[in-house]
Amino acid sequence: MTTTPDYPCPECQIGVLRPRRVSYFTVQGGQLITVPDFPAWVCDVCGRREYDVAALAELRAMLDTNRRPGRRSKRPRPAADASQPQDPAGARRRP
């Protein structure tokens, strides 16, 4: 029989944190994301949850690869027209 380590709960200081699988909820980019069967440490008295650090890092890495906002398009920008002044202040100069 393999025993798992138990840790005292920092919240209630009475219970013990034990490993469990829980549903993890987060909001990213205005979207609710639910991850079932997520590893966590849960207090057997007050229910406090502390999530597994490695699992959170892996989840964040997966979510960051799927993010589109903030990435630049790889389309080439149109070339500037040589007949137009490049300096916007140049248009305000007096002759």
| CATH number, domain containing residue 5 | 3.10.20.860
Domain containing 52 equals 1-66
d(CA 68, CA 38): 25
What does the pLDDT read at residue 20? Answer: 93
How many structural domains compose the chain? 1
Task: Write the pLDDT tens digit of every residue in 20-62.
Answer: 999 999 998 889 999 999 999 999 999 999 998 999 999 999 8
- Domain annotation covers residue 20: yes
What does the pLDDT read at residue 2? Answer: 62
Place 88 in a pLDDT band, splitting at 50, 70 and 90: very low
d(CA 36, CA 69): 26
* DSSP type of residue 88: G
d(CA 80, CA 92): 19
Place 15 in a pLDDT band, splitting at 50, 70 and 90: very high
